[in-house]
Structure 1
Amino acid sequence: MSVNVLDEGILPPQLTTVRDLDLLSVTTSGPDPQAAYARLQEQWGMVAPVEIEPGVPAWLVMGHPEICAIARDETNYSRDPRNWRWHRDGLLAADAAILAYCPPEPRNASFHHDGETRARLRQALDDALAALPEKAVVEYADTVCTRIIGELPDSGPLDLVADYGVKVGFLSMAAVFGFDHATATRLMADSMIISKLLPGALEARQRIGQVLMEHVRSRRGTPGRDLTTLMADHPGLESDLEVIDSIAVPVHGAASFVGAFISRTLHLLVADARFAERWGRGRLHVDEALDEVLWRDTPVPNAPAPRFAMVDHELDGKLVRAGDAIVLAVSAANHDPRVHTGDPWDEVGNRSHLAWSLGPHACPAPRQARLITRTAVQRVLRDLDVHLAVSQQEIRWAPSPWARHPVSLPVNYHRRAG
């Protein structure tokens, strides 16, 4: 791929020459994400320079066809963080939050690799997911929901994010991998320390590694009906370390985004007047609410790991240098008028949303994530009568550059009879 010089002979904008960039979190933490994307597009076009966090720039790609082309191209766009020049040139602070997603030495998981290595590691996860019955996923999630709801008093205040959505997401995903409730709860606590960059993150990471190692070894001796057993026996994984790394990424990463999916869907049904009324009148099914979230305001607006350019090239009039980070704004792409016109007749049967991404690094478990989220939402609606305890205007959004969900969703509830 070659660099195209603009007709005027002026060098296109590049990451090292632009200043005063917006943080990526402006697209996730405000009341109207699409307005934030639109402002960036008005200034820059479909590719805009942003900062993932202060001092860490990246290109934000917002067009549907552009994202599709990049996501499918492992030759020119890598997921291996060793190809990021901010690593190579030592430009990252030791406590940079992005290190949780892009460590200098990647895990032995498909998430961080390309080509044959990615294909081999990903095949093991895909095969294990295909072999796990969907009924078992629902049972795991329902057991978690039963425990959490069962421990609540009959009525009172409740935060549907911290006290329910986040917990159900993590504990259900951990259960799918065969962790008992007590161990999963410890893993969740340590995962929170790491994701929030709290003191003791290094020790928390070491504890998680030890738990995962013990779990994999125990499953070799005592198989269970879970993903860890299926992956530990897979011939494509060549060592216990590869098994551990292949389950560490979904246990930590996927669980957090399932929690966001649950929280965002509950927000839609509880706090959005249009949907609350339709739900109350029986005109809205839970699956319709899930589709609405995935299409209109996905819980993962920006794909949670950048790509890294392998060659210098021009993209939408910007000069992308080899080693630049590229973030795919899938939520913006879902609203690209080239695929989403707003005409309800055009939307019938439209399956072109990118909530699960696409290409070789597409989400491996969209069906499982949807089953867990549907189960979690249905249990709240079935077992609890909930009413928003604050105004819609008081709800604040998480500052994460990757996930979109309320910081908290305070409700008052009472347990339904029967």
Structure 2
Amino acid sequence: MTVQMMARDAPIELVNVADLTPLTATTSATDPQTVYGALLKRWGVVAPVEIEPGAPAWLVMGHTECMDMMRNERLYSRDPRNWRWNYENLLAPDAPVKTFSPDKPRAGSYHHDGETRRRLREPLDAALAALPQKDILQFTERVSLRAIDALGPSGMADLVRGYASQVGFLSTAAMLGVPDEPAKQLMRDSALISTHRPGAREARERIGAILMNQVQQAKASGRPGTDLIAAMVGHPNFKSDKEVVDSVAVPLHAASMFLGAWIARILHVELSDARLRARWTGGRIGLEDVMQEVLWRDTHVANSCAPRYAMDDIRLGDILIRKGDAIVFAISAANHDPRVHTGDPWDEIGNKSHISWGTGPHACPAPRQALLITRTAVQVIQQELDLTLTIPADAVQWAPSPWVRQPLELPVQFKRVTQRGTELPKTSHQGPLLLPPGQVARPMGTQWPSTVPLDAAPARASSWWPVTDT
């Protein structure tokens, strides 16, 4: 990474930096902390990076700095209309980053600040708080078992597309109150949009129509419901049905990116990390301990997909953040900040000061629901299948996303050990196995079966929700 010539005492500005490190380098590396570490060594806790070609941003890697900026929406806005690359038309009309940073954001709390954010966020928070835990457990178990049933009694599978992505997406759709068939259509359309394939515009229209139909049906029924849409339609904060549609898209948007990735990361740890697996299966730690360790050690939320935009010029040491610059929070790097770790494993017990859920007015609205869905999805597959990773642990490749850290695929050999509650003979190892180093059980690139056609499964490590009005 090089800096163009400037006066020695001049601060570093984003537009003057060449050869920017792409954000995908932080998520697709075997060890993301080596990439973050190189940026820290060269620039300090704030470094210039590239979200995608033509879209530069400042990457904030310090825990304290991320927390302070997350809490200050007056100086660090969430509204992408405040991004200079938007209001000066510096992006191509079809730039993928516009999915996350649209110049015409929809009417959900996600892309708004202040009173508008508060008005639109309150109904979502209230509906999530009222959602019965038993309902989340029941529909996640149902979705998980259907995915496992579709795999068959034994064979080969990719747990990312054949299980984790589908369970995360469809469980969240059930939480919204979307029935099975429309939910599957949402999943198919999401794949078109996230991969920018032909038909994406029509897919956006279908998604909007499906969600609007659910909102209008819930509104017409007049009956109170326990799903999110039914709980939100009557809230007085909403000025139109469209605001409800845009607001219910927030948890579905998150599920399409991060929930499936968290499930996949935990399964990856179980199958590939002998140290952690020994502690887990030996009873020294439980599933929720493993879930928290993933959030700390190698979180699936590598970099926040909701940039902030500077509302004024800000000088941070040698760095000058100009008004209108984009700011990305490096969640994974911040979680590794030595300032929040003591080095003593006993002191780390119960430490939940990671920022994988964010903090401040734009913190994740549904950490409890995400934990319940993820925990249930992992428990069900543990109970139902014997799993063996069919490639060496160090051969697992990572999805090239600016935001999400998850395996590109998780190829396994599996055997069903229950059938509608009837136990079948269980293999002797009683759990997931690791292959010896260098041993490969199948040719690389083999196509795996999945619950629905591969082109209908949620795209890996990408967002689908059409946040623009185009």
Per-residue CA distance 1:32-79 (angstroms, 9 max, x = gap): 011111010001000000000111100000001111110000111100
Q: 1:254: how far off?
A: 3.1
2:255, 2:319 → 1: CA distance?
32
Contact 1:48–1:60 (8 Å) recurs in 2: yes
Number of the residue aligned with 2:322: 321
2:344, 2:92 → 1: CA distance?
47
SS at match of 1:151: helix
Q: 1:317: how far off?
A: 2.3
Number of the residue aligned with 1:4: none
Number of the residue aligned with 1:293: 294
2:34, 2:239 → 1: CA distance?
47
2:161 is aligned with 1:162: yes
Q: 1:285: how far off?
A: 1.5
SS at match of 1:305: coil
Displaced runs of 4 or more, over 6 A: none
Aligned residues with identical type, % of pairs: 54
Residue identity in the other structure for 1:107: R
Contact 1:46–1:61 (8 Å) recurs in 2: yes
Q: 1:275: how far off?
A: 2.1
Residue identity in the other structure for 1:121: L
Number of the residue aligned with 2:255: 254
Q: 1:9: how far off?
A: 7.1
Per-residue CA distance 1:133-166 (angstroms, 9 max, x = gap): 1111111111101211122211000111010000
Number of the residue aligned with 2:276: 275
Contact 2:46–2:61 (8 Å) recurs in 1: yes
The TM-score with structure 2 as length reference comes to 0.85
SS at match of 2:236: coil
Number of the residue aligned with 1:184: 183
2:235 is aligned with 1:234: yes
1:60, 1:277 → 2: CA distance?
36
Q: 1:252: how far off?
A: 2.4
Q: Which moved more, 1:267-276 or 1:281-290?
A: 281-290
SS at match of 2:28: coil
Q: 1:195: how far off?
A: 1.6
Q: 1:196: how far off?
A: 1.9
Residue identity in the other structure for 2:353: S
The 5 Å alignment of 1:12-411 reads: 12-222=11-221, 223=223, 224-411=225-412
The TM-score with structure 1 as length reference comes to 0.96
2:39, 2:342 → 1: CA distance?
20
**Structure-2 change in CA distance of 1:182 and 1:371 (3 Å):** same
Contact 2:59–2:330 (8 Å) recurs in 1: yes
Residue identity in the other structure for 2:62: G
Residue identity in the other structure for 1:391: P
SS at match of 2:157: strand
**Can you give the 5+ residue segments of structure 2 that lack an aligned partner in the other structure?**
1-6, 424-470
Contact 2:132–2:226 (8 Å) recurs in 1: no
Residue identity in the other structure for 1:246: S
1:110, 1:181 → 2: CA distance?
27
1:41, 1:308 → 2: CA distance?
21
2:330, 2:257 → 1: CA distance?
18
1:382, 1:93 → 2: CA distance?
48
Per-residue CA distance 1:248-276 (angstroms, 9 max, x = gap): 22212334210011001110111112123
**Can you give the 5+ residue segments of structure 1 that lack an aligned partner in the other structure?**
1-7
2:68, 2:133 → 1: CA distance?
32
Contact 2:130–2:226 (8 Å) recurs in 1: no
Residue identity in the other structure for 1:311: D
1:25, 1:177 → 2: CA distance?
31
Residue identity in the other structure for 1:364: P
Q: Which moved more, 1:302-311 or 1:243-252?
A: 243-252
What's the RMSD between the two structures over aligned residues?
1.3
Residue identity in the other structure for 1:271: S
Contact 2:292–2:352 (8 Å) recurs in 1: no
Residue identity in the other structure for 1:50: V
Contact 2:168–2:373 (8 Å) recurs in 1: yes
